[in-house]
Amino acid sequence: MRFRLLGPLEIRAGEDWLGIGAPKWRSVLAALLINAGQIVPVDTLINEVWGETPPAKAGNLISIYVLRLRRLLGDTDSTLLVTRAPGYLLRLAPGDTDAQVFEALVREGRRAHAAGDPERAAAQLAEALALWHGSPLADVPPTTLVETEAERLAAIQLPGLQSALDALDRDITGVQLRLIELTDQHAAELRRAAEADQRAARAREALAAELDGAASLGAALAREREAASALSAAADAAEATARAQADARRAADLVAKAATEAGFQDPEAAREARRAGDWRIQADREIRDHEAAARAVAELLADPDLDVPLDPPADTDGTAAVVDAARQDHDEALAAHDRAQHKAEQLADLTPRLTARLGALRPLADEAAEARRLADLAAGLGANTLRMTLSAFVLAARLEEVAAAASERLLAMTSGRYSLIHTDARRGAGRSGLGLLACDTWTGVDRDTSTLSGGETFLASLALALGLADVVTAEAGGIRIEALFVDEGFGSLDEETLDEVMTVLDGLREGGRMVGIVSHVAELKQRIPAQIRVHKGRSGSHLTVCGQME
């Protein structure tokens, strides 16, 4: 998990940076980040959130804020934000906050500058300054702890880093000028070396021309001696060749005479007619076998039993009809092939145009698909795994505020046992986004509101109504809801709980708000002086007013 302190307080969620909407949550998280790795007592967190005027149940509210921060950070197993008496501890790895990265880059830049590496130092300090996107902890309510940390970070940033960057820029400019000078000198030396190579090459070419291709004078003399020896050997070889040619002519005349006497046209015909002894023996054996087989077949054919009538003549007319039908089928197949080929050519002409039209429609199809995905996402379909509609998502933000305000009321009515939190978990195959859970501090379990008893459900409903009134009042610029009516539910309360509820309602009345109760509970008749009673009869219902109405 990554955090930004050099500007508005933000957390990294996937590839995006997200702000924290509730100011009190920002105060709690800022105190934990400033003291990362250390236990921050609950009293310190209360002081950071409310100062010297905390509410009566401030400790319980801090617990609720910590629980919501864990959910926001994805810390489901409480390994990042740990509960440690007498408070909480936030575990961070090096580099989890931009402030840690900023200080590390500043240290690296100063070490690089001290080591004589101005380019690396300038890069490190420029990267450090790029991390700033506003005043430190700009959206966190100011406290002594927050202001001290902001002043400490600002003191590191200005003006030292900017002046150090200016000095490094001057050093880099000097080094670059010196590099240009050395580069020019190196190029001049290379030119002089190239000219020397050209002069040496011309000298070598002149010497090679004098030696007629020999590597040296000694090599040229050795070559001439070898040429003389080769001429002497060639003369001897020419004489031997003449003698061999005369012998060959005499042998050819003898071969031609022998071939003619043997009945062949020339020696080549004699060579072609020559066969190996094994071949002649095998051929003679095959001839004798063939003659024996021929005699055996002749004897079999001379047997009188083989004198039988011949088969009737073949049906040439039927065969001709079959041939004509086959020829017609062949002609029809050729015609069908021509038609298919013509259609294939037409389709080949139409294919590029169809491809072009489909390519032109692809951006529109992509836009339509994107619009469809957005519509499904807003309607709680498609990739929206929570099945939360856009309206439910907007209302969920308001419901969180109402639940927070209602929790303060419900904690007072249940002696600190129950508070309410928003949940976006789905129930079965239905949609999500507007669910509530009851946090039971006695058991440490977040319960579904459907598991509450009748009296507890009434208290939760009353707390939500009061919380909604508080949120509406705050959002409407101070416009107050002057009247509140509670219809039934008092019959499900025990005496002690009824007293707590009446105490809360009396507190609302003391603030100038009119509170009306619709109930049949007899005890309320004794506790509420101003009453409007409804009497029903055969002719209809009528009202009577008891006590003094304000």
Domain ranges of the chain: 3-158, 390-481
Rounded distance between C-alpha atoms, residue 492 and residue 114, angstroms: 77
Correct CATH for 3-158 of 1.10.287.610, 1.10.10.10, 3.90.245.10, 1.10.3720.10: 1.10.10.10
Look-up: residue for tokens 């290379």?
Answer: 190
Residue 51, classed as helix, strand or coil, is coil
Q: Which fold has domain 390-481?
A: Rossmann fold (3.40.50)
Give the contacts of 466 (CB within 8 A, at least 6 positions apart).
Answer: 405, 406, 409, 484, 504, 508
The SS3 call for residue 337 is helix
pLDDT score recorded for residue 140:
86
Query: Cβ atoms within 10 A of the Cβ of 505, count?
Result: 19
pLDDT of residue 510: 63
Scored b (16 or more CB within 10 A) or e, 244-257 reads eeeeeeeeeeeeee
Strands 483-487 and 514-518: parallel
Closest CA to 535 of 549, 545, 522: 545
Instruction: Give the span between the Cα atoms of 90 and 144, in whole angstroms.
Output: 20
Please give the pLDDT value at position 256: 74
The three-state secondary structure class of 521 is: coil
Task: Take residue 186 and report the two structure tokens written for it.
Answer: 């190196």
User: Which among 480, 498, 393, 483 has a CA at the least distance from the CA of 435?
Assistant: 393
Q: What is the pLDDT of residues 412-458, one digit of tens each?
A: 777 788 888 877 776 655 556 677 888 888 888 888 877 877 777 77
Residues 6+ apart with CB under 8 A from 54: 46, 47
Element (H, E) at 421: strand 418-423
List all residues 6 or more positions away from 74 whose beta carbon is below 8 Å from its beta carbon.
1
pLDDT confidence of residue 383? 67
pTM of the model: 0.33
CA distance 405 to 392: 19
CB 125 within 8 A of CB 109: yes
Contact criterion met (CB below 8 Å) for 501 and 488: no
pLDDT score of 327 = 87
Helices (H), 379-494: 390-413, 454-475
Low-confidence stretches of the chain (pLDDT < 70) are 157-182, 184-189, 196, 200, 203-221, 224, 227-228, 231, 255, 258-259, 262, 306-311, 380, 382-388, 392, 426-433, 477-481, 487-493, 508-512, 547-550
Are the CB atoms for 24 and 7 separated by under 8 Å? Answer: no
The answer to whether the CB of 459 falls within 8 A of the CB of 490 is: no
Cβ contact 139:150 at 8 Å: no
Bridge-partner residues for 98, per DSSP? none
Q: Of all helices (H) and strands (E), which one includes residue 17?
A: strand 16-19
